[in-house]
Structure 1
Amino acid sequence: MMSPVAAPAAGRDAFWRDAALLVLALLAVHALNLAVHRDLWVQDEARYGEVLREMLESGRWLVPHLNGFPYPDKPPVYFWLVAALGALTSQGELAFRLFTLLSTVAATFGTWVLGRRLAGPAAGRWAALCFVTLFGTLVVGQIARMDMTLCATCVWAWVALHAHETRRSRAALVGFWLASAAGVAIKGPIALLFTVLPALLRPLGARDWAGFAALKPLHGLGLLVGGVLAWIAAVWLDGESAYLVTIWNEQLVGRAVNSWSHREPVWFYVTLLPVLLMPWTGLAVSGARTFWQSEPIAARFVLACLLVALLAISAISGKLFIYLQPLLPLCAVLAGVGCTTLLAQSRIGTEQALLPVVWFTLLAGGIGWGTHDVLGNNPRGFALATILGLCAILGFRLSRQPPRRWLIGWTGLSAVVSWVVFGALITLVNPLYSGKPLGEAIARLAPGSRPVAIVHSTRGILNYYAGRLMTEVERTDIAAWYLLHPDALVVIQSAHLSYWFPEGKVPACTTDETYSVELKEYRVLAGCPR
């Protein structure tokens, strides 16, 4: 018979073993790719790099600026955090990518804790491992954006919310509202759709008035509004009142109106989510069914938070796959339940076994097609596609193995996807999506105060590596603008040259260089006859 002291000790040992396992998984699947250098890619990464560069150069920390103009799209807190990390390492690409890695670590451990509390230690362990190796996490965990940071704030908000609901803990309630506020500070009001909206609608939908009141919504929303008002006051006192008007017109009123006009269908995310959950899509579905039958209260918590947030973000106009990242921890918890259920069985179902094989096959085919169509039949690209094809074959053979070996095998194969796609392949595609060569050419050709015009291009995508501001000119105005600035350097896409030279032929300019960025050809021109 086990002594009373032995059981807690064994539990602590298992806890730390799981923690060590997750650290190793994160190091292998995500941190290892940091050794492969890549530039900040256009569009978003280079734009965020420029926002931070201008913050550091100007010392204007309250209001983000992009190419000299106020940048109302995102709050400043993400850039503050990256700058703080950069002060310890170095300001640049590494700081951005390292901050994403740290956010992935926080989101992973949050998923682990949430899974443990909802479904037990084994489900929590597998939920975290599934989250680390989900295709969506593999992608977002390598991008210099704030979406993984938002994901971390959301999962810890759910951990605190569940603790409050089960124990009526005041500390947990404060933690929920603080985590929700952190999400808003990182990403903006959209963060509330993932945390506060589900938290308030769940008790209202169940007519649980006591549960709704226990959330202290007036106090919590007051905290959020108070924080926003304090920041608005600071911006106003700093003389940036025009920035507040821009936020109101573009980010609040503008987005509210545009939310009724959809570029993608409302069901866009429903079809995309299964892809981001690969190779654990089948386990997430089976886990949801099992969870509902075995632990209906905990299942309702997960599914309500998941579905309310999914419906809410499906109702807004702008839709990118990366916006689904905050929902992946909830899906990973369902997959973790599916893993524990599978381990109790003697064999793996045919559909469950074939789904990830098909996924790997399609992924290999996509890399092969991209190598032919974009990379000029680069042998290394075909080699990487072949590796994934072999992984698909190995995955098929894993279907004959016991469930535990199958799960461990597919966890390892998902790590291979990370190494192939975000390690080896990155060196091949980096020149295609980096603006560094063009940016450095601008810095070389236009030193000092020489004017530079960027024609009809997205703001800020070349400034970071050029290390300077540029004049933004519409393609229809470039001919007239150049007449007034004959000493300027002009950066223009080849597709837009006809707006400057209607005859379709570029005259002999003293500077005429060609660069490719994001599969678009750019010309750098100066000293052109007028």
Structure 2
Amino acid sequence: MPRPGYLHRLPSLHWLWLLVLAALFLGVGMGLRDPWPADEPRFALNALEMLKTGQFWIPHRAGEPYPDKPPIFMWATAASIHLTGSVRLGFLLPSLLGALGTLALVMDLTRRLHGRRVALLAGLALLSSFQFGLQARTAQIDMLVTFFIMLGAYGMLRHALLGPARRWWFIGCAGMGLGILTKGVGFLPLLMLPLWGLLAWRRQAVPLAWRDLGLGIAVILGVVALWVVPMALYTTFSDDPALAAYRDNILFKQTGERYADAWHHVKPWYYYLLEVIPWAWLPLVLALPWLVPAWWHRARRLDARVLLPLGGLVLVIVFFSFSPGKRGVYLLPTLPLLVLASAPMLAGLLSRPRLHWLGAGVLALFGVVFLAAGVLGALGLPALARLAERHGVVPWAWWSLLGLVAFGLLAWGRPRRGLVALACWLAVFWLSWSTWGYQLMDPARSPRDLMQEIVAQTGPEAWLAMPAFDEEFVLQARQPMVHFGYHTPDDDQFRRAFAWLHEAPGERWMLVPQHRDEEVACADLTRTRDLGVQNSEAWWLIPGGAFDACSGDAGAAPLYVAPTTLDAASSGRHD
């Protein structure tokens, strides 16, 4: 029998119903599209190769070791594809579960700190946040790592604000370890430790004993070591230079070097403040003029319930701003902290007329932009027509509907309910994105039909080479396919491809973008087959016999066979 008070401690049904609603809302559209670039085809390819080859410890991309990320997300994707029996269903499942887990942690912590009503408002605030909705529907690695980061923050805050709760501190440390094995930045909650210590010194938070701090760090390192130590031993004693390069890349280049001396996505220091936060934090970003004074007031009172998540939020932004390499998605872990720091003020914000007017203004702007773009596109405005032709999508009716819905919500809510109307429009946007939008964009962003056309022209037994390959083409291949190393210089890849084609010109073909005409200028281009536009590129299919005059070099680059394509030749589809 349950102990007295057991039922009283259970979450309210409203709390659970919101999670069910979130699962339905975020899950709409699963199964309606293929993995899209960037990143999604790569992780789906990693997962399929794990299932095909049984090599789970070292992720591979089209037969080549993939050193950019640890394997947790690939394991989750492989498990999801295996359990659902479908790439289209399985590849999005880890992000969906990560989003629901993050939402549950935020709501539960808010309920314990501020009550059930505020917890519901916090859940709705997080669910309506633009970047949260985007990443929950995207099979990138960031939503799952955000869940593990939030689990770490949850464990810390349970101990600091509601403790002592040593068990939750250690659970949070385990979550941080899993976050490190997901993307390397799972340690971000530790940035709150100095502020936690200061608040504990001022008797505003439960102190963390030095012994527990040491044990927690040991838990983090122990979880990381579960994969890193066997991986390091295996790659060190394998006598395979490719695996040794994998070890060095994943342990050093993709961690400290990527942060301190990034080689791509280089942005100015103000990138997050001016170019990411204004859209990623919508609609809560509109409340900053009221939130900042409220935060200052609570900071003067040393309110640890607000200061700890707010301090973590600021420190995460500062941490990523110091690195020259920046991507908008890096700020996703700040959203749960933003909601936690704003939770006590959410009810009051809803009574601010000027905030509702601001929300109505933003919604009106969206309505004008989408309706104008939809109508002008339908009327054939040249700039929009060229955009549609380049991307292979004609969204005019969809955009017009979104504009009309915006004005309809404005008419319903009037400015006095502008923030609510904006949140409702965002819900309509995501529901239409996950249904109508998927149907419009999938043929343009997934080369499934193109790869079926290629196999129809070459036959399923013909081999296909793709120098400077993109993962989405390998993922959708319906015949054996080779490439020459993702990071190999392009000139070396083409020389290796020419040598490979010369070995059996009657059975081998090359798929190449038309803008690579200089690299294949030595070929007899009268024999090329124009495949049209796919993924914003025009493509050629060239038979191996057309490269007789091209000089090849079998030692110029490695040769990799994509394992997943071998099954595709016989099974027909990855669905």
- Contact 2:524–2:547 (8 Å) recurs in 1: no
Deviates more, 1:318-327 or 1:300-309: 318-327
The answer to which structure, 1 or 2, has the higher relative contact order (CA under 8 A, 6+ apart) is 1
Given the superposition, is the C-alpha separation of residues 343 and 66 from structure 1 closer, same or farther in structure 2, using an over 3 Å criterion? closer
Structure 2 equivalent of residue 385 of structure 1:
399
Alignment partner, residue 4 of structure 1: none
**Cα gap change, 1:347 to 1:44, in 2 (>3 Å):** closer
The structural deviation recorded for 1:181 is 1.2
Distance 1:337 1:234, change over 3 A: same
Q: CA deviation at 1:46?
A: 1.0
Is the counterpart of residue 52 in structure 1 residue 47 in structure 2? yes
The one-letter code sitting in structure 2 at the alignment partner of 1:264 is: K
- Listed as ranges, the matches of 1:86-485 within 5 Å are 86-166=81-161, 167-187=163-183, 189-192=184-187, 194-196=188-190, 198-203=191-196, 208=201, 211=207, 213=209, 216-235=212-231, 236-237=233-234, 239=238, 240-252=243-255, 254-259=257-262, 263-271=266-274, 272-283=276-287, 285-293=289-297, 296-334=303-341, 336-344=343-351, 350-362=357-369, 372-376=385-389, 381-397=395-411, 400=414, 408-441=420-453, 451-458=463-470, 460-466=471-477, 468-472=480-484, 475-477=490-492, 478=494, 481-482=497-498, 485=501
- C-alpha separation between the residues in 1 aligned to 2:120 and 2:43? 34
The answer as to whether partners of 2:35 and 2:446 remain within 8 angstroms in 1 is yes
Structure 1 unaligned residues grouped into runs of 5+? 1-6
Deviation at 1:495, TM superposition (A): 0.6
Which amino acid in the other structure matches residue 507 of structure 1?
L
Q: Give the aligned partner of residue 508 of structure 1.
A: 526
> 1:243 Cα deviation (Å)?
2.6
**CA shift for structure 1 position 408:** 4.6
**CA distance in 1 between partners of 2:428 and 2:210 (Å):** 46
Per mean C-alpha deviation after superposition, the further-off stretch among 419-428 and 267-276 is 419-428
> Is the contact made by 1:284 and 1:338 (CA closer than 8 Å) also made in structure 2?
no
The residue type equivalent to 2:476 in the other structure is Y
More divergent stretch after superposition (78-87 vs 54-63): 78-87
- Are the counterparts in 1 of residues 405 and 425 from structure 2 also a CA contact under 8 Å? yes
Matched residues in 2 for 1:55 and 1:254: separation? Answer: 28
Q: TM-score under structure 1 normalisation?
A: 0.85
Contact 1:153–1:180 under 8 Å retained in 2: yes
Aligned length: 513
CA shift, 1:205, in A, is: 6.0
Percent identical pairs in the alignment equals: 20
Distance of aligned partners of 1:288 and 1:391 in 2 relative to their CA distance in 1, 3 Å threshold: farther
2:343 and 2:412 map into 1 onto residues whose CA distance is 19
Matched, 1:497 2:517: yes
Q: Which amino acid aligns with 2:519?
A: Y
The question of whether the paired residues in 1 share the 8 Å contact of 2:35 and 2:44 is answered with: yes
Distance 1:475 1:185 in 2: 31
| Alignment-derived partner of residue 58 in structure 2 | 63
Partner secondary structure for residue 69 of structure 2: coil
Deviation at 1:149, TM superposition (A): 1.0
Q: Cα gap change, 1:443/1:379 in structure 2, threshold over 3 Å: closer, same or farther?
A: closer
Q: Describe the shift of the 1:291–1:395 C-alpha distance in structure 2 as closer, same or farther (beyond 3 A).
A: farther
Shift of 1:223: 2.2
Please state whether the residue corresponding to 1:491 is helix, strand or coil.
strand
Q: Does the CA-based 8 Å contact 1:262-1:318 persist in structure 2?
A: yes
Question: What whole-Å deviation, never above 9, does each CA across 1:453-483 have from its counterpart, x for those lacking one?
Answer: 222344x332111165522275435367425
Q: Tell me the secondary structure at the aligned position of residue 137 of structure 1.
A: helix
CA distance in 2, matches of 1:8, 1:413: 40
3-state DSSP of counterpart to 2:475 = helix
Give how far 1:376 is off: 4.5
- Residue-by-residue CA offset, 1:283-337 (whole Å, 9 max, x unaligned): 3552453355357322211210100011111222332222221111122335544
Q: Do the aligned partners of residues 362 and 484 (structure 1) sit closer, same or farther apart at CA in structure 2, a change above 3 Å counting?
A: same
1:78 aligned to 2:73? yes
Pair 362,336 (structure 1): closer, same or farther in 2 beyond 3 Å:
farther
Is the contact between residue 361 and residue 389 of structure 1 (CA under 8 Å) also seen in structure 2?
A: yes
Matching residue of 2:14: 17
Higher mean alpha-carbon deviation, 238-247 vs 127-136, is at 238-247
**Residues 113 and 124 of structure 1 are in contact (CA less than 8 Å); yes or no, is this contact kept in structure 2?**
yes
Question: Residues 364 and 385 of structure 1 are in contact (CA less than 8 Å); yes or no, is this contact kept in structure 2?
Answer: yes
CA distance in 2, matches of 1:328, 1:55: 32
Which 5+ residue runs of structure 2 have no aligned equivalent?
378-382, 549-575
* TM-superposed deviation, 1:88: 2.0
Q: 2:534 aligns with which of 514, 517, 530?
A: 517
Deviations 1:182-208 (A, max 9, x none): 211222x2222x322x23232356694
SS at match of 1:30: helix
Q: Give the Cα separation in 2 of the matches to 1:261 and 1:32.
A: 34
2:168 and 2:531 map into 1 onto residues whose CA distance is: 57
Q: What code does the residue aligned with 1:277 have?
A: W
Q: Which moved more, 1:242-251 or 1:270-279?
A: 242-251
Rounded to whole Å, the distance in 2 between the matches of 1:371 and 1:421 is: 19
Partner Cα distance (2:330, 2:216) in 1: 24
- Distance in structure 1 (CA, Å) of the matches to 2:345 and 2:46: 43
- Once residues 237 and 416 of structure 1 are traced to their aligned partners in structure 2, the CA distance between those partners, rounded to angstroms, is 50
With over 3 angstroms needed to count, the CA separation of the structure-2 counterparts of 1:356 and 1:155, relative to structure 1, is farther
What secondary structure is seen at the aligned counterpart in 2 of 1:156? helix
The one-letter code matched in structure 2 to 1:385 is W
Amino acid across the alignment from 2:290: S
Contact kept, 8 Å, 1:127 with 1:334, in 2: the verdict is: no
Task: Answer whether contact 1:284 1:332 (CA < 8 A) is retained.
Answer: no
Go from structure 1 to structure 2 and tell me whether the alpha carbon gap of 1:475 and 1:258 turns closer, same or farther (over 3 Å shift): same
TM-score by length of 2: 0.79
1:30 correspondence with 2:48: no
Structural RMSD (CA): 3.4
Shift of 1:493: 1.1
Distance 1:493 1:261 in 2: 23
Paired amino acid for 1:24: L
Instruction: Name the SS for the 1:41 alignment partner.
Output: coil
The alpha-carbon deviation at position 74 of structure 1 amounts to 1.2
The AA in structure 1 aligned to 2:473 is L
Note the C-alpha offset of 1:11. 8.7
